[in-house]
Amino acid sequence: MSAPAGSTTSAGRVVVGEAVRRRTFAVISHPDAGKSTLTEALALHARVIGQAGAVHGKAGRRSTVSDWMDMEKARGISITSAALQFAYRDAVVNLLDTPGHADFSEDTYRVLTAVDAAVMLIDAAKGLEAQTMKLFAVCKHRGIPVITVVNKWDRPGKAALELMDEVAERTGLTPTPLTWPVGLAGDFRGVLDRRDGSYRHFTRTAGGATVAPEEVFPAEAAAAREGDAWVQATEESELLTETGAEHDQELFLAGATTPVLFASAVSNFGVGQLLDVLVDLAPAPTARPDDQGSPHPLDAPFSAFVFKVQAGMDTGHRDRLAYIRVCSGVFERGMVVTNASTGRPFATKYAQQVFGRERETIETAYPGDVVGLVNAAALGVGDTLYADQPVTYPPVTTFAPEHFAIARAADTSKYKQFRKGIDTLAGEGVVQVLVSDRRGDGAPVFAVVGPMQFEVASHRMEHEFGARISLEPLPYRLARITDAASAGELSSARGAEVMRRPDGELLALFTDKWSLGVLVQNKPHLTLIPMVAADLG
């Protein structure tokens, strides 16, 4: 019999002790700020890979470990989230890379439900961009502590103090730099470590493919070595001290401040400091609230939730991988757990630790860990899994789609492959798949946040399932949740149509805000519930 939740059994102490070692975080930013490059550099500094392929498709270098999809390698951007797990010092790091394009913000949001902290990358030249601001807002709303990294300091950019002012004024977070650059943007020599006053000097390596050598100098030696650049760095650091920009762990965890580091991920400058800061300052997993808002103890029996489903990672097996975030207890490979949404058992015989596209079998996992469950056709995004003690975690938010298109099989003889591909994409959340009485099951409608999702869906349908499709755009731009009682009137309204998702939810689609507004004004009795906006705000 399992011990009561929250008990101090020997097994419970082991679980809590292992959870304390975990650091689970996401790397987030505006597109092209260097997320995947930083992910690769972190893995390189943790000595889990021997060589980085940080710049996509340039000079023959490899794509990054976290970018495995063919389209990602070709375009040099991340269009799906990826998980990497590795050990560093005495910690177990679960690093989640996120899509770089705003069209895939829904995937980013799902990842943010599974992490305890976030690393926000800011381009030194561009500062806080639109997607950066939206992601800051999401982290603040979810209570996720944020560590800020000013990336690309090896290139010309804004002044460091100007960037700190921008972070403070636009995010409401107080920046508390832990390192300060020596040398202006574009002349990155090293950093002043504000915690001990030392100077860390970086030396470039060929193409940034290996760990950059680092030398540590005391202040006197740094002054002699760097001259005016060191003087400027120390004067600016003293100014920060006078304004109270010093790290306070409680304020950081409360989401009031953000520690700041300066780096060049492509050159592997400052990446080692980030790894140490993550281990030293980022929070370990804590009791996660269930769907009633009650914290579920770490030492309760095993529980987890599915935050991502991905197929097509192994082209030889066409399997389906469900990423779960362990929330409590011990996961043991082979255990039979219950899917809270269906009440049905699920056997975890094939459980894997994920490192980009590479995988290896994992026997046990603890709170904070990300585990890949293979052959997970019965699992969907947002499902809760548990053993012994029932629990349900809050559902994962589905965003309001803004673009719609009818998908048709280009070759009717491939209809079986067409259906399998459609069902797979719907289960993963790559697109929302809608059907309507007007068109029937043979002409499903893809509903997406951004048009690039259409490209991904078309590419995968052709290359993974052998079912090339054509897409016919529809004029709708707005979606509202409705019910069966309202569906009849809505379907007959001008500029509107009602469609059904696989989960049974009914969506009313409208061509524009004017059509929706007129309907709401003339027929206030109809059920029209707004969905979460896709701008992450």
pLDDT higher than threshold 90 for residue 367: yes
Q: What angle do CA 316, 317, 320 make, to 5 degrees?
A: 130
Q: Is 101 annotated as a binding residue?
A: yes
Residues 6+ apart with CB under 8 A from 190: 182, 183, 199, 200, 201, 202, 226, 269
306, part of any domain: yes
Q: What is the pLDDT of residue 133?
A: 82
Mean pLDDT, range 274-279, rounded to an integer? 95
Position with higher pLDDT, 262 vs 457 = 262
Q: Which amino acid is at 329?
A: G
Q: Looking at the structure, do residues 292 and 366 belong to the same domain, yes or no?
A: yes
Query: Tell me: the pLDDT tens digits for 308-326?
Result: 887 654 555 456 789 999 9
By mean pLDDT, which of 14-18, 33-37, 97-101, 180-184 is the weakest? Answer: 97-101
Query: For the domain that residue 415 is a member of, what is the CATH number?
Result: 3.30.70.3280
84, part of any domain: yes
218, part of any domain: yes
In whole angstroms, give the CA distance from residue 234 to residue 164: 16
Q: Looking at the structure, do residues 38 and 148 belong to the same domain, yes or no?
A: yes
Closest CA to 326 of 294, 362, 279: 362
Token pair for 167: 């972070």
Q: 91 and 279 in contact (C-beta within 8 Å)?
A: yes
Q: Looking at the structure, do residues 95 and 239 belong to the same domain, yes or no?
A: yes
Q: Looking at the structure, do residues 206 and 104 belong to the same domain, yes or no?
A: yes
Query: For the domain that residue 139 is a member of, what is the CATH number?
Result: 3.40.50.300
Q: Is 411 annotated as a binding residue?
A: no
Q: Looking at the structure, do residues 292 and 422 belong to the same domain, yes or no?
A: no
Query: Tell me: the pLDDT tens digits for 95-153?
Result: 887 765 555 567 777 888 899 999 999 999 999 988 778 777 778 888 999 999 999 99
- CA torsion sign, 292 to 298 to 301 to 302? positive
Query: Tell me: the pLDDT tens digits for 49-87?
Result: 544 443 333 333 344 444 434 544 444 444 344 678 888
Q: Looking at the structure, do residues 225 and 260 belong to the same domain, yes or no?
A: yes
Query: For the domain that residue 319 is a member of, what is the CATH number?
Result: 2.40.30.10
Q: Which amino acid is at 371?
A: V
Q: Is 248 annotated as a binding residue?
A: no
For the chain, give the percent of residues with pLDDT over 90.
57
Q: Is 67 annotated as a binding residue?
A: no
Token pair for 106: 């829904």
Q: How many domains does the chain have?
A: 3
- What is the pTM assigned to this prediction? 0.80
Q: 270 and 278 in contact (C-beta within 8 Å)?
A: no
Q: Is 30 annotated as a binding residue?
A: no
Q: Looking at the structure, do residues 269 and 327 belong to the same domain, yes or no?
A: no
- Please count the CA atoms within 13 angstroms of the CA of 503 that sit on its side-chain side: 17
316, part of any domain: yes
> Which among 262, 281, 300 is the end of a domain?
281
11, part of any domain: no
> Which among 386, 411, 432 is the end of a domain?
386
Q: Looking at the structure, do residues 194 and 339 belong to the same domain, yes or no?
A: no
Please state, rounded to an integer, the average pLDDT across all residues of the chain.
85
60, part of any domain: yes
3, part of any domain: no
> Which among 247, 281, 315 is the end of a domain?
281
Q: Looking at the structure, do residues 376 and 439 belong to the same domain, yes or no?
A: no
In whole angstroms, give the CA distance from residue 287 to residue 368: 10
Q: Looking at the structure, do residues 437 and 473 belong to the same domain, yes or no?
A: yes
Closest CA to 418 of 430, 408, 406, 431: 408
Q: Looking at the structure, do residues 251 and 338 belong to the same domain, yes or no?
A: no
Residue 118 belongs to what domain range? 23-281
Q: Looking at the structure, do residues 256 and 330 belong to the same domain, yes or no?
A: no
In whole angstroms, give the CA distance from residue 112 to residue 357: 21
Query: Tell me: the pLDDT tens digits for 323-350?
Result: 999 999 999 999 999 999 999 999 998 8
110, part of any domain: yes
Mean pLDDT, range 462-482, rounded to an integer? 93
